[in-house]
Amino acid sequence: MSGDHVDVPVAARVRRLEARLVAAGLVTDEQLDGILEQHLYRATPFNGARTVARAWVDDAFRELLLTDANAALEQLGLGGLLAPDEHLSVVANTAEVHNVIVCTLCSCYPLLLLGPSPSWYRSDAYRSRVVRDPHGVLEEFGFHVPPGTAVRVWDATAEARYMVLPRRPEATGHLDEEGLRALVTRSGLLGTAGV
């Protein structure tokens, strides 16, 4: 920032921009409020959990989710959750590979699928260490990577976001899709927990 913008808080700069858009007749305050409300109301890890549970019970959906996540979300009625230029990749945990998500540059994150990001995800410590020592970091989260399972770290950017598809826990054959959704946590969707 330079000139008269120095030291002006972000909220004040945003308000100034909003006022100019409104003054120019490009948008109304009511429209801006509506957009924000709709956006934030919909940002919850329940969206991610719902997606995972469907993939656990529907092989065709799982296949689509892993090859074209944007299309899969569309199918689930969650298409509006991604920005037009936001590409989501869903990476599946297997017996061989456990996936974990980070943004080493800042804190890119699929907000609308996972809800607000946890503070540790935005911390310097996590962002720098998970790349160098993923096993050590996961241990600190209380997640023990099974012997013989490799850890793959995915570095998100503004355009490329990631979500983990955890493995369906054993002995959950009796659960329906709704019951399965309840098992999925935000940490599981980021890969710092098993599910």
The contact set with Fe ion (CB under 5 A) reads: 103, 105-106, 108
Closest separation in Å from C-beta 178 to Fe ion: 33
Contacts of 147 (CB under 8 A, 6+ apart): none
Q: What is the end-to-end Cα distance of the chain in Å, rounded?
A: 42
Closest separation in Å from C-beta 127 to Fe ion: 9
In what helix (H) or strand (E) does residue 100 lie, and over which residues does it extend?
Answer: strand 97-102
| 103 or 114: CB nearest Fe ion | 103
| 82 or 108: CB nearest Fe ion | 108
Closest separation in Å from C-beta 43 to Fe ion: 17
* Catalytic site residue from 2, 89, 103, 119: 103
C-alpha 53/C-alpha 48 separation (Å) is 9
In what helix (H) or strand (E) does residue 180 lie, and over which residues does it extend?
Answer: helix 177-181
* Catalytic site residue from 2, 107, 119, 187: 107
Q: Count the neighbouring beta carbons within 10 Å of the beta carbon of residue 168.
A: 18
* Catalytic site residue from 2, 89, 106, 123: 106
89 is catalytic: no
Residue 94: closest CA among 143, 142, 148: 148
Cβ contact 143:192 at 8 Å: yes
| 13 or 122: CB nearest Fe ion | 122
Closest separation in Å from C-beta 107 to Fe ion: 5
Cβ contact 39:116 at 8 Å: no
| 17 or 106: CB nearest Fe ion | 106
Active site residues: 103, 106-108
